[in-house]
Amino acid sequence: MKRFFQPVEKDGSLKKKPTLTTSSSPSKSEEKEEQNGESVVITEEKREPLKFISWNANSFLLRVKNNWPEFTKFIAAFDPDVIAIQEVRMPAAGSKGGPKIQGEVKDDTNSSREEKQTLMRALSSPLFQNYQVWWSLADSKYAGTALIVKKCCQPKKVTFSLDQTASKKHEPDGRVILAEFESFRVLNTYVPNNGWKDEEHSFQRRRKWDKRVLEFVLRSSDKPLIWCGDLNVSHEELDVSHPDFFSSAKLNGYVPPNKEDCGQPGFTLNERKRFSTILSEGKLVDAYRSLHEEKDMDSGFSWSGNPIGRYRGKRMRIDYFLVSEPLKDRIVSCEMRGHGIELEGFFGSDHCPVTLELSQKTSIDSAES
């Protein structure tokens, strides 16, 4: 429980804290700042988010430990309103064998407490003091997502499932965070990898996921959607660096019975067809491709293989911002923030951040919505 005390002068009298505003309107966000040794309340008008980052961090804790200065420099320069993280890889709270609290980071052992403290210290730094964090975590150090939103852009509601009537509050493995704002929804997902075989945890799992996503976007058409994250699919041939390599890839020589399931996970024909269906029936626009029609071999991909080994120089665009058609004309920019086969701008992950910037909502947009 938080307790707030008024500062007491040496003579015992109460001293009222100075403020920059006296408004207590719920439409404004209040922040505290030190000025001349006193805590001053700063009020900022609430608004809808316009600048977004999506990033598969490939272990958020490792990025905090090893790549935090360069990543925070990037955050400070872009100044996002929303940061969507995938593959957090922090276990959910809850004792061994007991139910998990997927919205909280595990801290019931010495090692987990230290890891949580490391993470929270990073997110308590001055740069992130104006943000709020939501977690959706797996039972172990696997998958998981996070959504970090500026307090002046707070969503009306945050949920963690594709199913509005789901009995479980969170998707398995913490793969979904859905934030509803005044004029649109933001969906952050870490999509299951297709895998290499037609079995429960590979092809079948991905087919079920794609079916549920299509149902979700059709059911949620009452409000525009911004869908971001590691979607684990490269839609067209220009979205991979080496189409022939990826389309003929095999694991240990295994060839699936259906030829349209052959190839690198994320680049099989069946995955790409289902993705096309989601885009067309959901009336979604690929924000990056709407601005970049040609293949960019230097900075047109979000995932890159290890600089050493078979995947050296092999790259895929599997991280996206998809927006509902009514938002298309508001797209100012959408960029892959890493480049080159040496993973510059990837901040230690095998994925680089993707950014999206929208223009302000106009009066025409308001009338149409």
Residues 346-356: tens digit of each pLDDT: 999 999 999 99
Provide the 3-class DSSP secondary structure of residue 363: helix
pLDDT for position 255: 94
d(CA 223, CA 95): 39
d(CA 207, CA 198): 10
Q: How confident is the model at residue 5 (pLDDT cuts 50, 70, 90)?
A: very low
The set of residues, in sequence order, having a beta carbon less than 8 Å from that of 88 and lying 6+ positions away, is: 57, 59, 60, 135, 137, 143, 144, 145, 146, 174
Average pLDDT of span 57-76? 98
Catalytic residues: 190, 230, 351
Provide the 3-class DSSP secondary structure of residue 147: strand
d(CA 321, CA 103): 24
Average pLDDT of span 65-90? 98
pLDDT for position 95: 83
Cite the annotated binding site for Mg(2+) by residue number. 56, 87, 230, 232, 350-351
Q: How confident is the model at residue 37 (pLDDT cuts 50, 70, 90)?
A: low
Q: Is the pLDDT of residue 358 over 80?
A: yes
pLDDT for position 306: 83
Q: How confident is the model at residue 364 (pLDDT cuts 50, 70, 90)?
A: low
Which residue stretches of the chain are H helix?
A: 60-78, 110-122, 203-219, 243-247, 269-281, 287-291, 363-368
Amino acid at position 224, single letter: P
Q: How confident is the model at residue 96 (pLDDT cuts 50, 70, 90)?
A: confident
Q: Mean pLDDT of all residues in the chain?
A: 89
Q: How confident is the model at residue 341 (pLDDT cuts 50, 70, 90)?
A: confident
pTM score above 0.75: yes
**Residue 52 belongs to what H/E stretch?**
strand 51-56
Cite the annotated binding site by residue number. 56, 87, 230, 232, 350-351
Amino acid at position 217, single letter: V
Q: Is the pLDDT of residue 23 over 60?
A: no
CA-nearest of 257, 256, 238, 237 to 247 is 237
Q: Is the pLDDT of residue 28 over 80?
A: no
pLDDT for position 20: 31
Least confident interval from 126-140, 166-180, 207-221? 166-180
pLDDT digits 0-9 by tens, 306-335: 888 899 999 999 999 999 999 999 999 999
pLDDT for position 165: 67
Query: Do the beta carbons of residue 226 and residue 322 sit within 8 Å?
Result: yes
Average pLDDT of span 25-53? 65
pLDDT for position 25: 36
Amino acid at position 166, single letter: A
Beta-strand relationship, 185-190 and 225-230: parallel
pLDDT for position 158: 97
Amino acid at position 286, single letter: D
Q: Taking the CA atoms of the chain, what radius of gyration do you get in angstroms?
A: 22
Q: 236 or 9, which is more confident? A: 236
pLDDT for position 367: 54
Long-range contacts of 119-122 (CB under 8 A, 24+ apart): 119/60, 119/61, 119/64, 119/90, 122/64, 122/68
Average pLDDT of span 247-272? 96
Average pLDDT of span 18-40? 45
Percent of the chain as helix, strand, coil, to the nearest 5:
25, 25, 45
d(CA 113, CA 106): 7
The half-sphere exposure of 142 on its side-chain side, counting CA atoms within 13 A, is 8
